[in-house]
Amino acid sequence: MRFVILGFGVSGQAIAKFLLKQPYEIFVFDDKIESILKLPEAKKIIDQGITVLKVADLFNLKYCDKTILSPGIPENHPCLLHLQKISEEVVGEMEFALRQFEGRCVGITGTNGKTTVTKQISHILNYNGRKAIACGNVGYTLIDAVQEFKNDILVIEISSFQLDRLESQKLESAVLLNITPDHLDRYQTFETYAISKAKIRSLIKPQGCFYIHDKTLEDFWVLFENKNAISYGFENNAQITLKNGNLIRYGKEEINLAFLTENLVKHDLENLLAAYAICRDLGLSSKQIKEGLETFKKPAHRIEFVKEVKGIRFFDDSKGTNIDAVCQAVNSMNGNILLIAGGVDKGSPYTPWVDIFQGRVKKVFAIGQAAEKIRKDLTPFVQVSIAKNLEEAVYDAFKEADKGENILLSPGCSSYDMFRDYAHRGEEFKRIVNTLTNEMKL
C-alpha cells in the first residue's frame, strides 16, 4: 500500500513511526520539511525508508491508497486538493488513530479550557486507580496512545481542526466546553467554526452522554436540537451545577465542594463541573472525584502566578491565545492590570476587549505581528503602546506599574512569530520576570 503523510509535525511523525512497522510505501510532504529535518528525531524517522516529496514530486504522483492529514494543514492547501483527486481515501491523523483502538475513550473540546479539563479528568481517574492517559491535542499523540495504552481510558483533547476530519463513533461520552471566536484565519466565518466544534456530538456512541456548557447550548441551540444534550453551568436551569458549594446533578445534591470551590473563578468552576460529569459517567463516585480534585494542579501558563517584585504581581497566561481567553483572565484578576498581548493575529477583531477592559486594564503593551491591529482596535478607549519584543514589554510594564497592580501576559494570539509555541512564550516570560529584583531601577 502507498501512504502519503501530509504534514510532518509531531502527529505526522508519530503516524510515520506507526506505518513503518508494516512494509508500506510511505511518502511525506511538509512545507517546512527542511527545518523539520534539522531535528534529529525527525531525520531518524525519515532515514528508516520514507521518501520526502518536494512540491513537483507530489504533483507527479498519480495514485495513493491513503493520505493521512495532519490537523495543521488547511482544507484549501493545493497539495491536499491534488491528493484528494488521486487518493482512495484522505483521512485525518486522529481518525486514522481511532480506527486502531477498541478500548474506552472520552472526548473534550471547546475554544478554551480543553487542556485543563482533559488533564483534570485523567488525574482524577488515575488518583482513584483507574488507568487513564491524557492524549490527542495534549500529551501523547493519539496514535502513540492507542498503541501504548490499549487497556487504559483515553481522555482525548480534540481541536476543531481534528474534529473536521473525524468520523468514527468511538467516544463513550464527550463535553463541549464553550464556543467563542477563534481560528478565523482558517474558518471563513464564526458559524463555520461553531459547526466544527459541534461535530463532537456525532462521535459519541449511541448510549453515550453529551455534555455542553449551558450558555453555549443557549447560543447555539439550533446545532443541538434533538441531540439529547446535558447542560452544565450556572444558568438556564443547568442539569449539573453548583449551589452554595453543593454539587447538584440531575436535581439531586451529590456532595459539598465548598472547600474546593470557594476561591475558584467562574471558568474554573465550569471546568470542574465538566470534569465531574465525565468522571461520574466513567463510574467514579462523588467522593472519589472530590478526592481527586483536591490533589489536582492546574497546568502551567494558565493565569499562573510567577513572582511579586516591588509589590507588583506577575501572571503568565500564555495559553490565552484568543479573544475570549483574555477576557476571562482579565475578569479573574484583582486590582489594576497592565496587559501584555499580541503575536500572530487569528482573524478576530480586538474590539470586544474595550468594554471588558474598562476600569480593569490600565494599559496594554502590544507585541508581535498583531501589535498595530491591537492598537488600532482599542484606541482611543484603551491606552496602548507597542514594544519590539516580549522583554521590552515586560520592562516597560514594570516601569509603569504601581504597587498592588498586576502585570499579565495574556496574548490573545498565536505565538509562532516569535516563539516555538505558547509554552516557549510562557517560559520566556517567566525567565524575564525572574531577572527583576526589588533593588532594580529601570
Q: Where are the domains of the chain?
A: 2-95, 101-295, 304-435
Which class in CATH covers the domain with range 101-295? Answer: alpha beta
Q: Confidence band (pLDDT; 50, 70, 90) for 442? A: low
Rounded CA Rg of the chain: 23
Q: What is the pTM of this model?
A: 0.88
Q: Confidence band (pLDDT; 50, 70, 90) for 385? A: very high
Question: In which region does residue 22 sit, left (phi positive, over 0), alpha (psi from -120 to 50) or beta (all else)?
Answer: beta
| Cα gap 340→408, rounded to integer Å | 6
Arithmetic mean of pLDDT, 241-265: 92
If you write DSSP's letter for every residue of 206-271 in order, what string do you get?
Answer: EEEEEEEEHHHHHHTGGGSTTS-EEEESSSTT-SEEEETTEEEETTEEEEE-HHHHTT--HHHHHH
Q: DSSP class of residue 298?
A: P
| Cα gap 44→264, rounded to integer Å | 46
Domain 2-95: CATH superfamily is NAD(P)-binding Rossmann-like Domain (3.40.50.720)
Phi/psi of residue 382, each to 5°? -130, 135
Arithmetic mean of pLDDT, 300-311: 93
| Cα gap 16→4, rounded to integer Å | 10
First-to-final CA distance of the chain: 64
Q: Cβ(281)–Cβ(410) under 8 Å?
A: no
| Cα gap 27→295, rounded to integer Å | 45
Q: Among 131, 236, 125, 108, which Cα is nearest to 177's?
A: 108
* Residue-level pLDDT at 235: 83
* Residue-level pLDDT at 441: 65
CATH for 304-435?
A: 3.90.190.20
| Cα gap 255→63, rounded to integer Å | 59
Q: Report whether pLDDT(266) > 90.
A: no
- Please state whether the peptide bond connecting residue 380 to the residue before it is cis, i.e. omega within 30 degrees of 0: yes
Q: Among 224, 272, 280, which Cα is nearest to 249's?
A: 280
Binding residues, as ranges, are 110-116
Arithmetic mean of pLDDT, 335-361: 97
| Cα gap 322→319, rounded to integer Å | 9
Query: What's the mean pLDDT when you consider all of the chain?
Result: 95
pLDDT digits (tens, 9 = 90+) for 127-165: 999 999 999 999 999 999 999 999 999 999 999 999 999
* Residue-level pLDDT at 279: 98
Q: Report whether pLDDT(440) > 80.
A: no
Binding residues for ATP, as ranges, are 110-116
User: Which residues are CB-contacts of 327 (< 8 A; sequence separation ≥ 6)?
Assistant: 352, 353, 356
Q: Report whether pLDDT(336) > 90.
A: yes
Exposed/middle/buried for 400, CB within 10 Å: 0-12, 13-18, 19+?
Answer: middle
| Cα gap 217→210, rounded to integer Å | 11
Q: Cβ(153)–Cβ(125) under 8 Å?
A: yes
Sheet holding 406-409, edge to edge: 304-309, 312-316, 406-409, 337-342, 361-367, 384-386
User: Which residues are CB-contacts of 331 (< 8 A; sequence separation ≥ 6)?
Assistant: 265, 266, 356, 360
* Residue-level pLDDT at 225: 81
